[in-house]
């Protein structure tokens, strides 16, 4: 390290922008990261245990399991819990969205409505924030990743699983997970994985594609990513109990016939799943931003259409750098920025009112439908 | 060999009549006829029902799936497979009834109806035969003697579908609830799960076999022990493994071998003992004496012909029918 920070005689012509990544790194570390993870699956598949195992926290300290009586007439709820975790100075604000009640009723045709609605609401909120006047502190609550828990009993995907994934693969990154993998022997796991992947392909479902790495990455990293790709869907086992196995303290599950270690790659894919989260958190966020959010946005704007929104959009366009949208209406209107700001505010208010009215209409339609069912 | 009574000399006492040979005569007759046992397995797909039944009878008695893929039926179907087993000269005509498509759909409303109508249809068929003027001496018995209900090992409690189905089934057939794939749960989880299920069953007044109200006093202590263990947490397997020279049925994974017959690993041995070795005759008998009679009473009392026997009370009817029934 040189004492003179402004010039480095050993490297003539050194400008110093190779330092850029460090600057970005320092800034983002200070700002912290936000990540939202959604877990979906029938009850009893070990979702909460897996989350606690992954993040080494207890996100559900006051959890009470419901009895069968309470299970009847249960609707799908959305449970959001946020926790700040820190590792080596890097702070992450992790939000876990749980979906209790999914797949538990006798008639499950509507169980993913509330989930789709939640995801859309987050996109909508982000869209509003992005189109707003003060964009300094946009909170990103969009769902970046969805772990979908597949029941290991059964022979592959159930009709409910296929329906859910078809409806959500364009809105969120789906990572399929084989729950409670300690039920299965190694051959059964391999067979089930192949079956699940075949069914996913047959139904044209797009799960989160782990990106191939560039050829200039290190061999180890490439090998790691290759192994990750092959292991999808991940067969996981979760446990927060620490056991003593041969003098070593490991997290696992104790059976009369043996102990399954959570962090042993020969026993289950937990390590790989954790690695996925660790190495691809940034990519998951990017794909959510670049693909799912953009899809939502273009659909929404095409629907919402007309001049008010387009005017607001053009105002943003004039202020910020060019973004990758291709709506033709934007190019036509050319309102001057000063007057545009005044219009902006009114337009924003109008939009909000419209959104509110739409929400109330939806609620009324839903209540009417419920009344019809009860009859 | 004739047993001597207290006041009789051992060798061909004067007062020896020979009544005790009745048992032997019955046994020989039954041996010749063979026994019939009809088992119904109900549960979502993938819970190991067919494997379990094959393990129970140590033979391939369950319906074999044609190849790997069978399309999911749009409603619950009822399929039966009959086989004849023989052991020690005793012949058993075993029929296993399976219910593919149960509980596997997105909307499972009324998925239990085909099952309920199947059970009642068997009672109906028996009743019809019984009522014929020229009826068969030995009516073929297709009535379901025992229904094994497979509960998925979630570790939480009974699902609403489980409750709905069990509430309907327990009134028409002997129901034995079973926790499937019990190797998913550790022993503590299993105990807690069983307790919650028992609480759920009593909350919803679901009566499972062995029923407390109809048992003989002699059977009470044994049945009590069985009830404490309900629902049985079982593991099924038809693959043999060799450990220390011994051949064992089990499931092998990277971290251990789950032994099917090992009582500390799962309740399969207890279930098998109850179902086959101690309570099979009671299952057959209670189906004929109780569930079938309930059905018969309900069916006949809805008919308005003069041939109907007005029901006085449960006991008298029961006594009457016992006297009339053949051995």
Across the interface, which of B108, B153, B196 has its CB nearest the CB of A107?
A: B108
Q: B184 vs A183: CB contact, 8 Å cut-off?
A: yes
Q: Which of A67, A155, A203, A257 to mutate to test the interface with B (most CBs of B within 10 A)?
A: A257
Distance linking the first and last C-alpha atoms of chain B: 23
Give me the residue label for tokens 């790194």. A25
Report ipTM (2 d.p.): 0.74
What is the b/e burial string over A261-295, where b = at least 16 CB atoms within 10 angstroms of the residue's CB?
bbebeebbbbbbbbbbbeebbebbbebbeeebbee
Tokens of A8: 């480095």
All residues of chain A having their beta carbon less than 8 Å from the beta carbon of residue B46 are 151, 153-155
Of A126, A190, A195, A209, nearest to A157 (Cα)?
A195
Q: A72 vs B155: CB contact, 8 Å cut-off?
A: no
Q: B162 vs A68: CB contact, 8 Å cut-off?
A: yes
Closest residue, chain A, to B199 (C-alpha): A67
Which CATH number applies to B30-307?
Answer: 3.40.50.300
Closest residue, chain A, to B46 (C-alpha): A154
Q: B159 vs A68: CB contact, 8 Å cut-off?
A: yes
Q: B154 vs A43: CB contact, 8 Å cut-off?
A: yes
What is the distance in angstroms between the Cα of B26 and the nearest Cα belonging to chain A? 45
Q: Which of B157, B165, B180, B198 to mutate to test the interface with A (most CBs of A within 10 A)?
A: B157
Q: What was the pLDDT predicted at A67?
A: 63
User: Along the 375 residues of chain A, how does pLDDT read in single tens digits?
Assistant: 445 555 555 666 777 778 888 888 888 777 788 889 999 988 888 888 888 888 777 666 656 666 666 655 566 788 888 888 777 778 888 888 888 888 888 888 888 888 888 888 888 888 888 888 877 777 888 889 999 999 888 788 888 888 888 988 888 899 999 888 887 888 888 888 888 888 888 888 888 887 776 666 777 778 878 888 888 888 888 888 888 877 888 888 888 888 888 888 888 888 888 888 888 888 888 888 888 888 888 888 888 754 344 444 444 444 444 444 434 433 334 444 445 566 667 777 787 888 888 888 888 888 888 887 776
All residues of chain A having their beta carbon less than 8 Å from the beta carbon of residue B200 are 67-69
Is residue B44 within 8 A of residue A153, CB to CB? The reply is yes
All residues of chain A having their beta carbon less than 8 Å from the beta carbon of residue B203 are 67-69
Across the interface, which of B45, B196, B264 has its CB nearest the CB of A154?
A: B45
Q: Which of A166, A179, A255, A259 to mutate to test the interface with B (most CBs of B within 10 A)?
A: A255
All residues of chain A having their beta carbon less than 8 Å from the beta carbon of residue B254 are 186, 266-267
Q: How far apart are CA B289 and CA B322, in angstroms?
A: 8
DSSP 8-state code for residue A107: B
Is residue B309 within 8 A of residue B324, CB to CB? The reply is no
Those residues of chain B that have pLDDT short of 50 are: 1-2, 4, 8-9, 66-68, 305-327
Q: Output the DSSP codes for B202-245.
A: HHTTPPPSSPSTT--TTTHHHHHHHHHHPSEE------EEEETT
Across the interface, which of B48, B163, B254 has its CB nearest the CB of A72?
A: B163
Is residue A362 within 8 A of residue A120, CB to CB? The reply is no
The domain locations on chain B are 30-307
Rounded to two decimals, the pTM is 0.76
Of A143, A141, A142, A148, nearest to A166 (Cα)?
A148
Is residue A179 within 8 A of residue A192, CB to CB? The reply is no
Of A251, A299, A258, nearest to A274 (Cα)?
A251
Q: B160 vs A72: CB contact, 8 Å cut-off?
A: yes
Across the interface, which of B104, B109, B254 has its CB nearest the CB of A158?
A: B104
All residues of chain B having their beta carbon less than 8 Å from the beta carbon of residue A74 are 160
Q: What was the pLDDT predicted at A1?
A: 47
Q: What was the pLDDT predicted at A85?
A: 79
Closest residue, chain A, to B70 (C-alpha): A155
Across the interface, which of B45, B187, B254 has its CB nearest the CB of A186?
A: B254
């Amino acid at each position: 390290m040189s004492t003179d920070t402004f010039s480095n005689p050993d490297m003539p012509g050194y400008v110093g922008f190779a330092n850029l990544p460090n600057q970005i790194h320092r800034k983002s570390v200070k700002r912290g990261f936000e990540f939202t993870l959604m877990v979906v699956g029938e009850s009893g598949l070990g979702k909460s245990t897996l989350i606690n195992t992954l993040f080494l926290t207890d996100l559900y300290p006051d959890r009470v399991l419901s009895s069968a009586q309470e299970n009847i007439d249960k609707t799908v709820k959305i449970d959001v819990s946020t926790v700040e975790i820190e590792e080596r100075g890097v702070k992450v604000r992790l939000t876990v969205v749980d979906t209790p009640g999914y797949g538990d009723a006798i008639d499950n045709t509507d169980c993913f409505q509330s989930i789709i609605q939640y995801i859309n609401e987050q996109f909508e909120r982000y869209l509003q924030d992005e189109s707003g006047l003060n964009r300094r502190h946009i909170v990103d609550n969009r769902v970046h990743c969805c772990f979908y828990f597949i029941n290991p009993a059964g022979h592959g995907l159930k009709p409910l699983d296929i329906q859910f994934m078809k409806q959500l693969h364009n809105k969120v990154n789906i990572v399929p997970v084989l729950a409670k993998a300690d039920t299965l022997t190694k051959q059964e796991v391999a067979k089930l994985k192949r079956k699940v992947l075949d069914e996913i392909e047959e139904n044209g479902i797009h799960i989160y594609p782990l990106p191939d790495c560039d050829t200039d990455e290190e061999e180890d990293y490439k090998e790691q990513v290759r192994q990750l790709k092959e292991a999808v869907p991940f067969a996981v086992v979760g446990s927060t109990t620490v056991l003593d196995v041969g003098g070593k303290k490991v997290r696992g599950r104790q059976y009369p016939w043996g102990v399954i270690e959570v962090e042993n790659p020969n026993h289950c894919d937990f390590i790989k799943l954790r690695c996925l989260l660790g190495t691809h958190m940034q990519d998951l966020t990017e794909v959510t931003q670049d693909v799912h959010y953009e899809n939502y946005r273009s659909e929404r704007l095409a629907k919402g259409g007309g001049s008010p929104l387009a005017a607001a959009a053009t105002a943003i366009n004039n202020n910020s750098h060019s973004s990758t949208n291709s709506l033709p209406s934007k190019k036509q209107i050319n309102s001057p920025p000063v007057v545009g700001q005044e219009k902006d505010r009114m337009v924003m208010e109008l939009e909000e009112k419209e959104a509110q009215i739409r929400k109330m209409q939806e609620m009324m339609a839903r209540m009417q439908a419920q009344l019809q069912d009860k009859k | 060999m004739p047993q001597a009574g207290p006041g009789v000399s051992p060798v061909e006492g004067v007062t020896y009549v020979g009544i005790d040979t009745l048992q032997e005569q019955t046994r020989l007759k039954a041996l010749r006829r063979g026994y019939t046992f009809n088992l119904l397995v109900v549960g979502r797909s993938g819970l190991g029902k067919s494997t379990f039944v094959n393990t129970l009878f140590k033979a391939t008695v369950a319906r074999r799936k044609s190849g790997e893929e069978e399309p999911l039926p749009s409603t619950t179907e009822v399929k039966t497979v009959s086989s004849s087993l023989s052991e020690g000269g005793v012949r058993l005509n075993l029929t296993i009834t399976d219910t593919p498509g149960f509980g596997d759909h997105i909307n499972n409303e009324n998925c239990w109806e085909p099952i309920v109508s199947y059970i009642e249809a068997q009672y109906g068929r028996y009743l019809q035969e019984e009522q014929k003027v020229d009826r068969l001496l030995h009516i073929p018995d297709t009535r379901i003697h025992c229904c094994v209900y497979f509960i998925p090992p979630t570790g939480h409690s009974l699902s609403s579908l489980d409750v709905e189905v069990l509430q309907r089934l327990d009134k028409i057939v002997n129901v034995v609830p079973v926790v499937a794939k019990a190797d998913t749960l550790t022993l503590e989880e299993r105990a807690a799960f069983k307790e919650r299920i028992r609480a759920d069953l009593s909350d919803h007044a679901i009566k499972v076999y062995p029923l407390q109200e109809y048992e003989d006093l002699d059977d009470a202590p044994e049945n009590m022990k069985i009830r404490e263990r309900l629902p049985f947490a079982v593991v099924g397997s038809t693959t043999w493994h060799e450990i220390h020279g011994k051949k064992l049925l089990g499931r092998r994974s990277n971290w251990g071998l789950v032994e099917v017959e090992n009582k500390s690993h799962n309740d399969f041995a207890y279930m098998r003992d109850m179902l086959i070795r101690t309570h099979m005759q009671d299952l057959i008998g209670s189906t004929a004496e109780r569930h079938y009679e309930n059905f018969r009473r309900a069916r006949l009392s809805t008919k308005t012909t003069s041939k109907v026997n007005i029901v006085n009370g449960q006991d008298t009817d029961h006594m009457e029918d016992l006297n009339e029934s053949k051995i």
